[in-house]
């Protein structure tokens, strides 16, 4: 299995055959099982938020931020679902991780899950692109179980997909989580991938329990948490700030609690219709960083004129009464019209 040949095909937007994907996922599982739930990395490093299957925007990230291995990357999860090219996106990241294991790091997001991917597009995309079989989806979702839960930059910046948990006061408690499984509905592991900071959370002086500072999340999983929770977590663990993803930001990033928490969002014009900017966060040290803000890739702007339909298909499919672009009907139609080159 030649990783450089795989990369050549993937950068060209071509799919790899099922046997190759099976081997790649197995090989990466062998490497990830040896990693701790908490991985330590050093600056300089570029932090990337949600991608959500927007493959051409991932290529744009490597264009503006520098290619691997010239640039070190930390991806904060949510590689699949919503976008039209989740298979290409996650496959490229897998091969890059195998080819340059010390240059790219992948954290698990809430969408790296069997249940979520069956509802938001990835499962259907795998079926459509691989002849109706769910085996490729199974290879990917089995691999997702092995992804690490969080990362620490320079021993002082805590990085996670979602946020904090009332079940986690210390980073050592994260280290002992049994992560190699489907994301549960609740508990520490679920909270790390589902929770969000919230400026409006009320912190009451008469409350002594850490968990009392959390509020049930409107997402239906995880919690929202305020500054008191962040202050206590950072102080207890000797951290200076938190980087996370998980929330759409119109400007590509959002800063909470005077810089103690930063959200990085890396899917521009999310779902090809939200009109938002995206960013990657280039970190040089605790106090030196740069938000590299960008807009959608030129290929995405051409989607409305795609030969797969009779013009303006993205806008039409999102209108009331029309087919959803992420529905089974659309995915099936696009799969049958898309030429795929396979290689061994």
The residues near 97 (Cβ < 8 Å, ≥ 6 apart) are 28, 31, 104, 105, 106
Backbone dihedral angles phi then psi of residue 29, each to the nearest 5 degrees? -60, -40
63 included as an active-site residue: no
Q: Is the dihedral of CA 260, 261, 266, 270 positive or negative?
A: negative
In what helix (H) or strand (E) does residue 196 lie, and over which residues does it extend? strand 196-197
DSSP 94-142: HHHHHHSTTTEEEB--TTSSHHHHTTSSHHHHHHHHTTT-SHHHHHHHH
Residue 240 in tokens: 């200076």
Which residue in the list 52, 56, 105, 111 is annotated as catalytic?
111
Rounded distance, CA 42 to CA 156, Å?
10
Q: Which residue has the tokens 């409006």?
A: 200
Residue 152 in tokens: 């620490």
- What SS3 class is residue 46? strand
- Residues involved in catalysis: 111
């Amino acid at each position: 299995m030649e990783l450089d040949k795989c990369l050549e095909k993937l950068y060209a937007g071509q799919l790899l055959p099922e046997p190759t994907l099976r081997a790649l996922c197995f090989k990466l599982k062998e490497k990830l099982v040896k990693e701790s739930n908490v991985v330590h990395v050093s600056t300089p490093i570029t932090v990337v938020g949600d991608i959500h299957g927007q493959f051409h925007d991932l290529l744009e990230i490597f264009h503006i931020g520098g290619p691997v291995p010239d640039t070190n990357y930390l991806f904060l999860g949510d590689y699949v679902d919503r976008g039209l090219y989740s298979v290409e996106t996650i496959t490229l990241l897998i091969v890059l991780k195998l080819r340059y294991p010390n240059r790219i790091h992948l954290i698990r997001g809430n969408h790296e899950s069997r249940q979520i991917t069956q509802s938001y597009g990835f499962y259907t995309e795998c079926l459509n692109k691989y002849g109706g079989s769910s085996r490729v989806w199974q290879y990917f979702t089995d691999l997702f179980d092995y992804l690490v839960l969080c990362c620490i930059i320079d021993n002082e910046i805590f990085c996670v997909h979602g946020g904090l948990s009332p079940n986690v006061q210390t980073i050592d408690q994260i280290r002992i989580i049994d992560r190699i499984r489907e994301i549960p509905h609740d508990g520490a592991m679920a909270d790390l991938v589902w929770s969000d900071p919230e400026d409006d959370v009320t912190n009451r002086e008469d409350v002594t329990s850490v968990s009392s500072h959390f509020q049930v999340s409107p997402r239906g999983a995880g919690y929202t948490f305020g500054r008191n929770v962040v202050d206590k977590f950072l102080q207890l663990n000797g951290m200076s700030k938190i980087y996370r993803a998980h929330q759409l930001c119109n400007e590509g990033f959002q800063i909470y609690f005077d810089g103690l928490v930063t959200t990085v969002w890396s899917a521009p014009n999310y779902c090809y219709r939200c009109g938002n900017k995206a960013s990657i966060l280039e970190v040089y040290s605790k106090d030196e960083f740069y938000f590299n803000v960008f807009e959608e890739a030129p290929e995405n702007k051409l989607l409305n004129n795609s030969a797969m339909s009779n013009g303006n298909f993205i806008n039409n499919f999102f209108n009331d009464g029309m087919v959803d672009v992420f529905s089974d009907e659309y995915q099936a139609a696009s799969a049958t019209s898309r030429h795929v080159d396979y290689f061994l």
